[in-house]
């Protein structure tokens, strides 16, 4: 198969390039860019690759003619303008941006602070590609946000099995700096990040509506969540710490929680259930794994669930490849067998 990447010089685009070049079912990776100097783009990669680096001017018609699928690793605001054309041509798209994740354009305007340029009808045809839970059936797959992925995976069994008070969820999530992309900003300057820890977008993060949208599919009476995000002084890794009150009706709580997590993720190759061991970021660094552990406090009846991912792998490029594999009926793990770096 031939695949296209748009946004290859960004952090998740670069990781995607590496994964797709090592994918057993992909013969050729074509890069498309809005940059005028195509040689400069190819130089980022050609020193490590014996194969020629194929870089082309961004052109939707060319992408559809010469590829079997396209991955967009572009900032919010780019894919909305091309989505309808790609869908009308039934061309498979895996979109890493947040442009088509929310079904309601008004929500996009509110949380992304941009005019939505996608219709309700187009949005209704998109698959939200949380790979462990959603069948990638539509040609247009919206890859979930990094915080949304870790949070939803940590909450899924608790919400689906109604083990918790649906109005009691508090999430405290933290990410490495690659999560904020390659563009320079004051908040991600080395001097501000190094040996520091800062909260940001508290109660205002754009993944809140995406998380709520999915939680309400699992439990229509799901209450609002409290959601905070912080910037860790590391490059990669994301931890969502989730607090929720266990429902009064649940007894044998430790066993019930363990059974729910094990049943939900029983046959999922990229999910590691740690039970009462709390995972850290090194466990999953550089891999597509999600590791989930928890601790139940019988005094307060609160469970603390910790869900960790590599933001550029399961949080972006890795899950995008997993969505690609599922859409094309390939082995779910194809191209994704990297073990964690551990150190």
Ligand X SMILES: CC(=O)N[C@@H](CCC(=O)OP(=O)(O)O)C(=O)O
Which spans of this chain sit near ligand NDP (rule: CB under 6 A)? 7-13, 33-35, 41, 73-76, 78, 96-98, 145-146, 178-179, 181-183, 311-312, 315-316
CB of 41 to ligand NDP, least distance (A): 6
Q: Which of positions 75-94 make contact with ligand X (CB under 6 A)?
A: 76
Applying CB under 6 A, does 214 fall inside the site for ligand X?
no
Residue from 30, 134, 139, 175 in contact with ligand X (CB under 6 A): 175
- Among 334, 298, 342, 326, CA closest to 129: 326
Contact of residue 139 among ligand X, ligand NDP, none (CB under 5-8 Å per partner type): none
Binding-site size for ligand X (CB under 6 A) equals 13
State the binding partner of 259 from ligand X, ligand NDP, none, CB within 5 to 8 A by kind.
none
Is position 107 an interface residue for ligand X (rule: CB under 6 A)? no
Contacted by 34, from ligand X, ligand NDP, none: CB < 5 to 8 Å by type: ligand NDP
Of the candidates 146, 152, 215, 283, the residue annotated as catalytic is 146
> How far is residue 11's CA from residue 251's CA, in Å, rounded to a whole number?
45
Contact stretch for ligand X (CB under 6 A) within 35-43, 51-59, 129-137, 175-183: 175-183
Instruction: Measure the CA–CA gap between 243 and 303, rounded to whole angstroms.
Output: 6
Choose between 147 and 294: whose C-beta lies nearer to ligand NDP: 147
The site partner of 231 among ligand NDP, ligand X, none (C-beta below 5 to 8 Å per kind) is ligand X
d(CA 224, CA 234) in angstroms, rounded, equals 30
β-pair type (2-6, 28-33): parallel
Active site residue 146: yes
Q: Measured from the CB atom, is 77 or 269 closer to ligand X? A: 77
CA atoms within 13 A on the CB side of 303: 31
Q: Please list the residues that pair with 302 across neighbouring strands.
A: 245, 297
Residue numbers annotated as active site: 146
């Amino acid at each position: 198969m031939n695949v296209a990447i748009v946004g290859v010089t960004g952090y998740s685009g670069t990781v995607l390039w590496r994964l797709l070049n090592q994918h057993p079912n992909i013969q050729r990776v074509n890069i498309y860019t809005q940059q005028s100097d195509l040689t400069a783009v190819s130089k980022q990669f050609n020193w490590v690759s014996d194969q020629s680096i194929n870089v082309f001017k961004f052109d939707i018609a060319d992408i559809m003619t010469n590829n079997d699928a396209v991955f967009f690793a572009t900032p919010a605001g780019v894919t909305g303008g091309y989505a309808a054309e790609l869908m009308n041509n039934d061309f498979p798209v895996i979109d890493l941006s947040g442009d088509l994740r929310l079904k309601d354009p008004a929500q996009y305007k509110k949380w992304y602070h941009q005019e939505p340029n996608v219709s309700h009808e187009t949005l209704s045809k998109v698959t939200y590609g949380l790979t462990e839970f959603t069948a990638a059936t539509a040609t247009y797959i919206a890859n979930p946000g990094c915080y949304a992925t870790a949070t939803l995976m940590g909450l899924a069994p608790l919400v689906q099995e109604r083990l918790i008070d649906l109005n009691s969820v508090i999430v405290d999530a933290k990410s490495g700096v690659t999560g904020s992309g390659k563009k320079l900003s004051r908040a991600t300057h080395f001097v501000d990040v190094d040996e520091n820890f800062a909260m940001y977008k508290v109660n205002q993060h754009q993944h809140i509506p995406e998380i709520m949208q999915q939680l309400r599919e699992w439990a229509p009476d799901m209450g609002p969540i409290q959601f905070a995000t912080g910037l860790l002084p590391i490059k990669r890794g994301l931890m969502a710490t989730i607090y929720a009150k266990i429902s009064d009706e649940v007894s044998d709580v430790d066993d019930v929680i363990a059974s729910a997590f094990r049943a939900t993720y029983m046959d999922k190759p990229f999910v590691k259930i740690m039970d009462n061991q709390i995972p850290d970021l090194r466990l999953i660094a550089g891999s597509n794994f999600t590791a989930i552990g928890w601790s139940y406090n019988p005094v307060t009846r609160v469970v603390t669930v910790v869900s960790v991912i590599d933001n550029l792998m399961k949080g972006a490029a890795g899950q995008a490849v997993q969505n690609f594999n599922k859409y094309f009926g390939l082995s779910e793990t194809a191209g994704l067998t990297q073990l964690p770096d551990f150190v």
